Amino acid sequence: MARKMEAAAPLVQTPIQLSGHSLPRNTSTTVLCTSHSTNARRSYVAIGDVVRASATSGVRRRRGLAASIEQGVAVVLMDVNTQMPMHTYTLRPSDHITSPPLVVERALHAAGDKKLVRTTYLGAQDASGTVLWVLTESLDMRGKRIAELDPEKAVHSVAGAPLEALFSLRSGDLLAVRADGTVVLLAEPLSSQSLVKYTAEIGSFLPRMRLDTQMLDAPFAKALLHHAPNAASMLGALLLVSAPQTKDAQLSVRALAVHAEAPFLRAYDSAPLFPSVPASKVISSSVHPSGALCALSKSGELCTANLSLEHNALDALDPHTVALPALRGAAKSAVRALLLSPSHLLLLTVPSGDVQSAKERAAALIWDVDLDTILTRVEWSLGNTPGKHGQLCVTAVPATDSHVLVQVDSGTSTDAMRSSILALPVSVPTTGLLRHALGTAAQTSAWLAPDATFSTDAVLEPSHASFLRTLESLAEEERARTLEATFPTWRKEESARLRSAEHVKASRKTPKPVLENAFVARLLAIALPHASSGKSTLEAPNTLRYLLERNAVSSTMMRGPKEHDSLLARVRATNDWSILYLLLRHVPDLAEMHAITILHDVLAQQNDPAAPTIARVLQHILAPPKFAKPALRMALRTQIRSNEHVLILLDIVRRWLDAVLSGPLDRQLGLQKDGMCTVPHTQIQYSSGDVHAPELETLVSFAEDLLDTYFPQLLASTSTHAFLAECTKAVAQHTQQLQSIARLQGPLDAFLHAEKSKEGKGKRKAEGKSKRLALHEASLLVPPYSVETLDV
């Protein structure tokens, strides 16, 4: 069975949402770093470690549990499988936590009895200085918390710099990394009052930025540091990847071996690693318990090596560098690398730029370090996680053998607005196999460039790349007009090429050209001028309409550091409402905020004869695909604030509801009449459009969004009460009428069943006739079609 598991192909699946956190309750809360790194990301939410420790079995990650902390709110122990919190420890707003939680489960033997306990360790600061919190819970024999017993809290003083990371040893002792870079060995807090046993001084190696930290249990430590003195007595080891905070500094690794006797900590340092990549250019770094090491740079270079101890110093063996051009220029916080095995690397990427779209996507790739290929990948939508300053921060922490915890923060490292924690299911064999890389060239080609040069044409079809090169060789002011003139011809030629290549018969429908994302994005850049360019007319409208109607346009194709670089801003600048309609109907990842922005524009221009009616724009917004209700309500609250505009929207919905509810009995229901409408009991007027009313369920849902969003605002404005009271009476009247007319449904159902029964008999009779005719023709041996030739 073990051989089958080792030979299983690598797997990565769509992650599971574990939790989401909004702004902290305590706005003065200091941000936290992860246990593994200080430079990767800082947030008020941090993921900790959950382990099981024993003197015989060692330290291993606890399967199915994840620990996180929202500083100023709570420490949460989450069940990964059910996505439900198993236990929550509420913090006070004044509590100042400085480290992610470390949760240790172990058995204590006292007086012949075995007692299972779960201990949560937290680094903190109070008036006395640096302290260590110890929260102890009693468990039953199945590992479930005994609810009758409250957790016991103990506070131990640890003088010195704040504790940033905590790690457990099989002996029960702890290793703590301070903010100044020193490493402290802490005695088992449940049995000793003299907490600090030994401190590893900074020397010439630390303080610096800590890029990655890996705690090794005794077997891994002895295997990696087997040439070290007294290697057989090691309790574990701590690997720290760090670098001085200077411009041209390089990465280094320090291994701290932990022994049961003094000196408790012995340090082994490496020479500077990866000379071609300065530490200031490193986006992410990861070290595996086997000694495998990787570093990813801003220029897209992935450097790997294997650590080995020789002559009391760590050497980097088999250094290797490969270029990943797709990651070139990525934001420092948007890419993470995590070694899952000596041969497999998990790459997490989040696009940077304008992330006001609520449908941002992330990708997880499993990269074979030995073969330089992508074995498998998965993409998913990040949901409503918009970044405030145009970037998203991502962190990966190994939770168990089958899950990696991914934390995505919005905004900058010091100004996070929302944090989401995901569980990413992953599975890799212990070593890489060649057969797992077969057939992966296509998905690797866009990421890998052996000569470290990358052309955007490399991922395009030759016909697409040739067409774009022709356009981009022209002067910028001529490109859009040339695109409009030549695009229909290119479409015909591309369809003919596809017909020939796919051997499509002449009688079949002509195949449509394939529109790749990279190709469409570059066409949009030509067809749509910048919003700040001053151009108000489209020079390639038909091309743009074709791309939208083919559902080939995504809002993420046009992004940039400034607002006028986005797709919506460019389309709004043209004042072409027909394109805006297509944008609402055919861009599936259009953000709710952008849709309501369009609605706000038409509300502000209601007196403009050239502007469309409000009802027509609202009809396109309410058409499928539907927007998410929470994001839609947030967009309404932030974009539309005038009571007059809210009453207009409510009156349009009210009129539509009147029309839809009378529709089933009124066969003449069609377009609403065009003209001016007045909101009852007010002087507000607006133009009514000749549009069809949306479905009833859509109307009721949008009416709920309006009323729930603006309820306090409408309640405080007495001028709106008369109109809303009339709406209330109309709804009550409709409800009463529907209850009355429902009594006719019983007797009328009998006629419906009779009609269906009659249709079924006729259908069966016709089928019987056709079967008899077929049998008769077969008996006469007369073919269905015959051709006779008479020669004279």
Q: Check the CA dihedral 496-502-503-504 and report its sign.
A: negative
Going by pLDDT thresholds of 50, 70 and 90, the confidence category of residue 544 is: very high
Q: Using a pLDDT cut of 90, give the percent of the chain over it.
A: 7
Q: Check the CA dihedral 47-173-160-182 and report its sign.
A: negative
Cis previous bond, 529, omega within 30: no
* Residue range 486-515: mean pLDDT, rounded: 82
In single-letter form, the type of residue at position 418 comes to R
Q: Using a pLDDT cut of 70, give the percent of the chain over it.
A: 77
Cis previous bond, 219, omega within 30: no
pLDDT at 475: 87
pLDDT at 490: 92
What is the 3 state secondary structure string of 520-564?
HHHHHHHHCCCHHHCCCCCCCHHHHHHHHHCCCCCHHHCCCCCHH
**Could you tell me if 124 and 95 are in contact, meaning their C-beta atoms sit under 8 angstroms apart?**
yes
* Alpha-carbon span 544 to 520, nearest angstrom: 10
Which 8-state DSSP code applies to residue 634? H
pLDDT at 667: 47
What is the 3 state secondary structure string of 663-732?
HHHCCCCCCCCCEEEECCCCCCEEEECCCCCCCHHHHHHHHHHHHHHHHHHHHHCHHHHHHHHHHHHHHH
Going by pLDDT thresholds of 50, 70 and 90, the confidence category of residue 546 is: very high
Could you read off the pLDDT of 446-466 as tens digits, one per residue? Answer: 666 443 333 444 456 788 888
* Residue range 498-523: mean pLDDT, rounded: 79
Going by pLDDT thresholds of 50, 70 and 90, the confidence category of residue 416 is: very low
* Alpha-carbon span 209 to 41, nearest angstrom: 12
Q: How far is CA 247 from CA 26, 119, 140, 243, 277, in A?
A: 36, 42, 54, 10, 12
Least confident of 215-224, 260-269, 467-476, 774-783: 774-783
Could you read off the pLDDT of 22-34 as tens digits, one per residue? Answer: 655 554 455 676 6
Least confident of 46-55, 172-181, 229-238, 762-771: 762-771
**Could you tell me if 203 and 182 are in contact, meaning their C-beta atoms sit under 8 angstroms apart?**
no
* Alpha-carbon span 254 to 232, nearest angstrom: 20
* Residue range 325-342: mean pLDDT, rounded: 77
3-state secondary structure of 391: coil
CA dihedral 562, 563, 567, 571 (to 10 degrees): -130
Least confident of 157-161, 368-372, 668-672, 699-703: 668-672
Going by pLDDT thresholds of 50, 70 and 90, the confidence category of residue 574 is: confident
Could you read off the pLDDT of 272-325 as tens digits, one per residue? Answer: 888 778 888 888 888 998 999 999 888 888 899 999 988 888 888 888 888 887
pLDDT at 121: 92
User: Which helix (H) or strand (E) element contains residue 14?
Assistant: none
**DSSP-based helix, strand, coil % in the chain, nearest 5:** 35, 30, 40
Q: Check the CA dihedral 433-439-445-446 and report its sign.
A: negative
* Alpha-carbon span 347 to 167, nearest angstrom: 25
User: Which helix (H) or strand (E) element contains residue 442?
Assistant: helix 441-445
Q: Exposed e or buried b for every residue in 546-585, given b needs 16+ CB within 10 A?
A: bbbeeebbbbbbbbeeeeebbbbbbbbbbebbebbbbbbb
Give the count of beta carbons closer than 10 Å to the beta carbon of residue 26. Answer: 17
Q: How far is CA 362 from CA 91, 144, 432, 440, 639, in A?
A: 32, 36, 25, 20, 28
Average pLDDT value for the chain: 78
pLDDT at 776: 62
* Alpha-carbon span 189 to 135, nearest angstrom: 11
Higher pLDDT, 521 or 35: 521
* Residue range 415-432: mean pLDDT, rounded: 76
* Alpha-carbon span 552 to 275, nearest angstrom: 44
Most confident of 163-167, 328-332, 532-536, 564-568: 163-167
* Alpha-carbon span 50 to 168, nearest angstrom: 10
Could you read off the pLDDT of 640-654 as tens digits, one per residue? Answer: 988 889 898 988 888
Higher pLDDT, 297 or 390: 297
Dig out the tokens for 597 from the structure: 């922005």
Instruction: Give one DSSP letter per residue of 178-227, joined into a string.
Output: ETTS-EEEE--TTT-S--EEEEE--TTT-SSEEEEEEEEEHHHHHHHTTT
pLDDT at 401: 66
* Residue range 356-379: mean pLDDT, rounded: 77
Going by pLDDT thresholds of 50, 70 and 90, the confidence category of residue 390 is: very low
Write phi, then psi, for 318 (nearest 5 degrees). Answer: 55, 50
Higher pLDDT, 333 or 251: 251
Give the residue from 346, 229, 223, 371 showing the smallest Cα distance to 291: 223
Dig out the tokens for 439 from the structure: 């057939």
Residues paired with residue 21 on neighbouring β-strands, in sequence order: 419
Pairing relation of β-strands 313-323 and 301-310?
Answer: antiparallel
* Alpha-carbon span 125 to 128, nearest angstrom: 8
Which 8-state DSSP code applies to residue 430? S
> Per-residue pLDDT for 751 more than 80?
no
**Could you tell me if 728 and 675 are in contact, meaning their C-beta atoms sit under 8 angstroms apart?**
no
